């Protein structure tokens, strides 16, 4: 099969022929139909985070089950599925106490003594996020996928695999935004647009989109933002305080920058909650005014939207089919696997909300 190989930071991915192993017990081979290109992958390409090489990146995809291993009971060949990096074992303490997104994942990962899932030129290829979606096929644990209705377009479904689940889920699961709340979203790329839409579905009365790119702000308005702030020419903290009359009830940081995390916290009203969705560079520290804690402000993180993905994702699909969740509008470009480096360039340039790699 063809796959995009990651060789290390600051190097282009190359398209290579890669061998895929047979599925073992509880493993499934999924033929990739579409894969979103997420900013989290760019962190590794840019060297902000490290990962073993060679590797196949990508973690946001949908496809069709091609082959199942022994003991697989959840899916069968021909089923349409969304893949999710929040693979869960269902047995650890986190899974058993309602936090499957925080699973230790030891029971769903091949050991070092087992053969690698992917090989290239005779050497093992590391699997990224238990998925590796920049490939024509994926070999995954059955608990990394959710079966979906077959009338759901797979390019739109791919976005649910990470970006939508992360942004939408941060609003409704992590922060539990209440009807009538005021919300500000810092960064309206794919994840931020999902947070805007989650806020709309949750019933927020004011949804403020903050970005430096005019086209992104226009898209945020299209998808539900009631106000926009161009941070390239305005102080977003002051603008949010002015718009809300004292600060937002909830803010969401969907970029992954120290500055914007701190701004999201400062833009809160007393008693407000800032939820960090973006992936900050390794070792980055965030500073807040200690006295502000007396205002009972909360700064919290969100892991993949605190998801229960086998429950959440079918619900998001229903929202899409009902016209209440706009996914097609979030796809700026549809490209081929061979265009993955161009997709990263466009993302860094702020030209896209989401690029989606389409497979035959």
In whole angstroms, give the CA distance from residue 151 to residue 142. 22
Contacts of 221 (CB under 8 A, 6+ apart): 209, 228
Q: What angle do CA 341, 209, 324 make, to 5 degrees?
A: 85
For residue 63, give the 3-state DSSP assignment: strand
Cβ pair 159, 190 in contact under 8 A? yes
Alpha-carbon span 41 to 59, nearest angstrom: 8
Please give the Cα distance from 344 to 348 (Å, whole number): 6
Structure tokens at 253: 């940081």
Residues in the chain: 360
Residues catalogued as catalytic: 38, 40, 43, 59, 162
Q: How deeply is 34 buried, as exposed, middle or buried, from its count of CB atoms within 10 A (0-12, 13-18, 19+)?
A: buried
For tokens 């470009």, what's the residue? 333
Alpha carbon 310 to its chain's center: 15
């Amino acid at each position: 099969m063809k796959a995009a190989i990651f060789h290390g930071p600051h190097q282009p991915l190359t398209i290579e022929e890669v061998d895929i192993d047979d599925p073992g017990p509880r493993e499934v081979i999924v033929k990739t139909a579409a894969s979103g290109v997420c900013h989290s992958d760019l962190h590794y390409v840019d060297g902000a985070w490290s990962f073993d090489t060679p590797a196949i990146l990508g973690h946001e995809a949908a496809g069709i089950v091609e082959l199942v291993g022994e003991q697989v009971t959840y899916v069968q060949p021909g089923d349409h599925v969304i893949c999710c990096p929040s693979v869960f074992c269902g047995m650890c303490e986190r899974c058993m106490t309602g936090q499957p997104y925080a699973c230790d994942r030891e029971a769903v990962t091949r050991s070092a003594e087992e053969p690698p899932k992917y090989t290239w030129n005779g050497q093992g290829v590391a699997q990224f996020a238990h998925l590796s979606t920049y490939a024509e096929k994926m070999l995954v644990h059955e608990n990394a996928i959710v079966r979906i209705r077959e009338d759901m377009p797979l390019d739109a479904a791919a976005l649910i695999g990470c970006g939508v689940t992360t942004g939408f889920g941060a609003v409704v699961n992590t922060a539990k935004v209440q009807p009538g709340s005021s919300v500000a979203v810092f960064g309206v790329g794919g994840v931020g647009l999902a947070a805007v839409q989650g806020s709309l579905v949750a019933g927020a009365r004011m949804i403020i989109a903050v970005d430096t790119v005019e086209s992104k702000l226009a898209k945020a308005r299209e998808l539900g933002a009631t106000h926009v702030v161009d941070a390239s020419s305005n102080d977003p903290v002051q603008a949010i305080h002015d718009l809300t009359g004292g600060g937002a009830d909830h803010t969401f940081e969907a970029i992954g920058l120290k500055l914007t995390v701190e701004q999201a916290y400062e833009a809160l009203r007393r008693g407000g909650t800032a939820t960090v969705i973006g992936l900050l560079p390794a070792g980055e520290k965030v500073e807040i005014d200690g006295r502000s804690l007396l205002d009972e402000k909360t700064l919290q993180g969100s892991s993949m939207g605190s998801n229960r993905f086998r429950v959440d994702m079918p619900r998001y699909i229903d929202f899409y089919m009902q016209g209440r969740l706009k996914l097609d509008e979030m796809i700026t470009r549809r490209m081929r696997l061979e265009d993955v480096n161009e997709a990263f360039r466009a993302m860094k340039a702020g030209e896209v909300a989401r690029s989606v790699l389409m497979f035959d």
